[in-house]
A and B are shown apart, each in its own frame.
Chain A
Amino acid sequence: MRNEVILSGFGGQGLILAGILLAEAAVVQEGINATQDQVYGIAARGGECCSEVIVSDDEEINYAKVNVPDIVLSMSQAAFNKYAPRVKDGGVVIVDTVFVEDLSALEGRDCTILRIPITAISKEKTGRTMLANVTALGAICEYTKLVKNDNMVAEILTRVPKGTEEINRQAYWGGVEAIRALAGKEA
C-alpha cells in the first residue's frame, strides 16, 4: 500500500523536519520504504512551505513527487487553499484550526476533514508553539497508522536536543489524544 502525504504551512513551523521524521521513522524504525522531498523554492520564515512524503510497505518508490496526496496537513490558510484541494477523493485533510478558518476550498469534495487546534495543543502541553510539528505528527500517525506511535516517538527522540525529550513526548501524545477525542465524538 502506497500513501502520499503533503505537510504544508509556512516556513518556521518545522514541516520539512516533520516530513523527514515521518519518512525516516518508516524506513529506520518500521523497515518499510519511504521518501521525502520538498518544494524547494526561494522561501524564508513566514513564506510558504511544503514537505512531500511517500510511504510504501510493499513496493519500491521510483518517481517521488506527490501529485494526488492521500493525506494533507494544512497549517496555514494559504497552504490549505493551495494544497488541500489536491487531496485524493476519499482522502483526509488535517487542518490546524489556529491558522485555518475558511474551509471553502474543499466545499463539495469527498474527503475527511479533521479540525484540530494543533498549535494550541503544542502550546498547552509544552508551553511552546514550536512543537506544533511534533503534535501534527502525533495526529497524522494516530489517524493514518502509517507509523506506529512508539516508533514515531523513538525516531523523534533521536533528533531532538538533549533535555527536550519530555516536552516532545507531551507534544506528540497531545496530537494523538486530539484524534482519539475526535473519534470519540464521532462514535
Chain B
Amino acid sequence: MSNTTVRFMQGNEALVEGALVAGARFFAGYPITPASEITEGMSARLPLVGGVFLQMEDEIASMGAAIGASMAGAKCLTATSGPGFSLKQEGIGIASMMEIPVVIVDVMRGGPASGMSTLPSQMDVMQARWGCHGDHPIIVLSPATVTECYELAIKAFNLAELIRQPVIILSDAIVGHLRERIELPDPSTVKIINRKMTDKPPEEYAPFEAGEDDVPFFAERGTAYRYHMCSNVHTEKGFPADTNNAVAAKLITRLHRKLDNYADEITCYKFFGAEDYDVLITAYGCVTRAARDAAKALNAEGRKVGVLQLQSLWPFPKAVVAEYAAKARKVLMPEINLGQLIDQVRLATDRPVEGLNRCDGAEIRPEQIIEKVREM
C-alpha cells in the first residue's frame, strides 16, 4: 500500500503541487488575481528542484518563454486569468501549430475586460476553445475541487507530453482560492508521461514526421539533430510550405487526428446522485459543488436527480453527454456565464436542455438549482 499525506491546501497551491510532481521545471508568468498563488508557489518551489522561474514583463512574453523552454526540453507551466489569457492566445496558437507541450492555467474571474478581478466566473469557456485563430486543436480540463486541481495538473502535463499539445486548465476563483482537505499520494506512485524521443539517427530525422499515433518525435537539443520549427504551415522537415495545399491539408488534419487518437485518455468526467435520474444536471468547475448539494437535497425529498460533472471540456465529450442525457427526461446546465457550454450539450442530445445562469460575480447557490429543478 502506498503512503498518502493529508494536507489542508488551496486549489492554486494544489495545482502547483501537481505540476511539480508531473515534472514541471519551468514557469514564466505575470501575477494576476485570482491566479497569483500559482505564480507565487512556483517562484518558491522551482528553485528548490533545480527549475527556473521567470517573472516576465507581461503575459505575451510569459507564453513565449514557456514555449521556448519547452522546445528546449523542459516541462513548462504558465498561469493567468481572463485578461492575461486573452494576451496568451497568439502563443497558444503557435504551440498548437508547432506541437509544443505546454500547460496554461486560466483561473477564471468575472469579465469582460478587466471585469471583476476578485470574483468568480466561467466566462472563458468558449475563449479556451476558440480564443486563438485558425482550425487549431485544444485540450481543456476543468477542476471542481482542490484534489482535482492536483490530479488534473498531472493529467494536463501527461497529455501535453503524450500528444505534443498545449493543454489548458480552466479553473475558477472559487476552486482556486478555496482551501480544503487533500490526500496527496506518494509522488513515486504517480504515473508520469514524458515526451517521445526519436530513435532515428540525425541524418534521417524530420522533426514533424509523426509516428503511428500521429504524434511527432522530439530530438535532444544541442546535439547533432537539426531542428527547424515554423508556425506557418510546414513540411515534415519544419520548413514553410504555406502555399502547398496538400501539405496544409495533411498537417492540419493530423493535428486534429492526434486528439481523436487519444480521446479515451483525454475524456474525463464524474457522476453523482441517483442512478435512475429524471433530471440530469450537467456541470463543471465550481458549479459542480452547488449541483451536488442540490441533487443530494432533491434526492432526499424523493426527486430523482443526477449530476454529470465534465472534467474535460474540450474536445467536448459529446458521446458521454449524449449517453447520460438519453436516460433523463430533462437536462439542466447551470453556468456562471450567460450560457456557453450549454450549446454543446444541446448539440449532443435531443432532450430539452435548460440553462441557469448568472453573470453578477456571485456563485450559483444550491438553492437556486433546487428551485429550478422543481420547476422542470
Contacts and interface: CB of A to CB of B under 8 A. Distances in A.
A62 interface: yes
B8 A23 contact: yes
Given A40-B118, A42-B118, A62-B292, A34 B363 contact: no
Contacts of B363: 63, 65
A40 B289 contact: no
A63 B181 contact: no
A41 interface: yes
A34 B290 contact: no
B293 A63 contact: yes
Nearest to B366: A63
A33 B363 CA distance: 22
Given A28-B6, A34-B8, A20 B179 contact: yes
A31 interface: yes
Given A23-B8, A28-B6, A42-B118, A63 B177 contact: no
A64 B178 contact: yes
Given A20-B179, A34-B181, A65 B34 contact: no
Nearest to B369: A63
Contact of B289 (A20, A28, A41, A62): A62
Given A23-B8, A41-B118, A42-B118, A36 B290 contact: no
B6 A31 contact: yes
B179 A35 contact: yes
Nearest to A39: B118
**Size band of the interface chain B makes with A:** 20 to 34
Interface string A13-53: 00000001001100110010111111011100000000000
A61 interface: yes
**Size band of the interface chain A makes with B:** 20 to 34
Contacts of B371: none
Interface string B152-194: 0000000000000000000001100111110000000000000
A34 B34 contact: no
B213 to A, nearest CB: 38
Contacts of A42: 117-118
B226 interface: no
Contact of B7 (A28, A33, A63, A67): A28
A55 to B, nearest CB: 11
Contact of A35 (B6, B33, B178, B365): B178
| A-B complex: 4 closest residue pairs judged by Cβ atoms | A24-B8, A62-B289, A36-B179, A27-B8
Given A37-B179, A61-B180, A63-B363, 8 more contacts: A27-B181, A28-B7, A33-B181, A34-B180, A35-B178, A37-B177, A62-B293, A63-B365
Interface of A: 20, 23-24, 27-28, 31, 33-38, 40-42, 61-65, 67
24 contacts: A20-B8, A20-B179, A23-B8, A23-B179, A27-B7, A28-B6, A33-B180, A34-B8, A34-B180, A35-B179, A35-B180, A36-B8, A37-B177, A37-B178, A38-B177, A40-B118, A40-B173, A62-B289, A62-B366, A63-B289, A63-B292, A63-B363, A63-B365, A64-B289
